[in-house]
Structure 1
């Protein structure tokens, strides 16, 4: 695979390129809540308030977990993986944009070649499979940026690439009102991206405020794998 892609030059770069799924393929009033746990020096916290609210309200969600976050939170990861409300998916080994030439996104250097693309996806998938007995089928890169060559590599490895249609907390930088406003604009089939690794931020409060309004509007919540995606 490395040889096959080594000489191909990417022509597209971004969050919404072909092969990255951004919506559920349905007209049902359902929303897929997805929460990233990015890991690393400033990103290995655990927003227990957010997760306990989801559990209390029986709200399913998809959790994209980075390898560094698992290493920092092994017991919490095991508990989350054992809870059927949560679908555990792959947020990469080192939380890097998925590129074959080191392209940056938000100041984070992407993978530099096909070998690093494979490492970024497979090593964390192997770890999740070893710990949970189930190999993740979805991958979201650090920053959710991809180039078109990396997308093809991901598909050859058997991964679906998960983008988003609703920016729920902008990397956990939104205040609670901004999170609320973002989530309450969700539509049928929306995939919401937010974060569960910054308990010091306002994501939990915004989500807790938005969920009752979304339910009142007739929406229910599903795991990403429950529906096909566009």
Structure 2
């Protein structure tokens, strides 16, 4: 689910990637809260108020303030029909990436598909129980919520909300104790119909403003430079937690993290950015 903001060709590579893949406590809940989705933790983290006509709100980045925060997000992609590939030895997980985040003590948000949690329940549980991280919803199937989304299969409108709920159920079954009420559309593709259909799911849709370009990338330096060139205060960076589809991401982090810290940036989870945004309105 990576979409290049600088190169259309890199964006097109996303279709294949999409078919593959302590920190401070979150700030208090905003004044206007949405109902917790099924399977989410009982205490509601900060969310955005509904958009126009009650549509699901969309979050792209936090405030551009002097508080130089940045949220690294990692999409744990796996589509519902890729079991045979996993059984044949393809790795949709990336334990070394998670280990590097822990070694550098970098808070992060992992947008996980339900299918990924089913394939790697121990890893899902480990991530979900680590206070350094938060787990958010990336659908169950990793099928698109719009037509013509980088070659992904499409979820029928009548199944969209059920697909989101099924992902939460998969997290719970894997032993993830807290699943955040944040949802990232597969491929980043959404339209008014999708936002309207999910309006009763109680989620905030989370996009991004910085694309790492880690889709199939083998040049870690190029991935790192893409991030470093794009990050601004309040940025949300989209990366991947899939060895087969994004093999250079872990190595790129070893450059990204110390350099951004050198520039005065502080790493936060998406929940902190959303909490800051709601309190400044």
Unmatched 5+ stretches in structure 2? 1-55
User: What are the Cα deviations for residues 63-90 of structure 1, in whole angstroms up to 9, with x where unaligned?
Assistant: 0111111111111111111110010001
Comparing both structures, which one devotes a greater share of its residues to strand? 1
**What pairs with 1:1-230 in structure 2 (closer than 5 Å)?**
19-27=57-65, 28-40=67-79, 41=82, 44-99=91-146, 103-113=147-157, 115-130=158-173, 131-173=175-217, 175-185=219-229, 186-198=231-243, 201-228=247-274, 229=277
User: What are the Cα deviations for residues 161-206 of structure 1, in whole angstroms up to 9, with x where unaligned?
Assistant: 0101000135343631221112112010000000011267111111
Whether contact under 8 Å (1:90, 1:121) holds in the other structure is yes
User: What are the Cα deviations for residues 40-95 of structure 1, in whole angstroms up to 9, with x where unaligned?
Assistant: 43575222221111101110000011111111111111111111001000111100
Q: 1:150 offset after TM fit, Å?
A: 0.9
Classify 1:66/1:172 alpha carbon distance in 2 versus 1 (closer, same or farther; 3 Å). farther
* TM-score, length basis structure 1: 0.83
Q: What is the CA RMSD across the aligned residues, in angstroms? A: 2.2
Measure, in 2, the Cα distance between the counterparts of 1:124 and 1:34: 18
Q: 1:127 offset after TM fit, Å?
A: 2.6
Unmatched 5+ stretches in structure 1? 1-17
Measure, in 2, the Cα distance between the counterparts of 1:90 and 1:226: 17
Whether contact under 8 Å (1:44, 1:69) holds in the other structure is no
SS of residue matched to 2:199: helix
Q: 1:227 offset after TM fit, Å?
A: 2.3
Q: Count matched residues.
A: 210
Classify 1:193/1:123 alpha carbon distance in 2 versus 1 (closer, same or farther; 3 Å). same
Measure, in 2, the Cα distance between the counterparts of 1:70 and 1:212: 30
Q: Which runs of 4+ in 1 moved over 6 A?
A: none
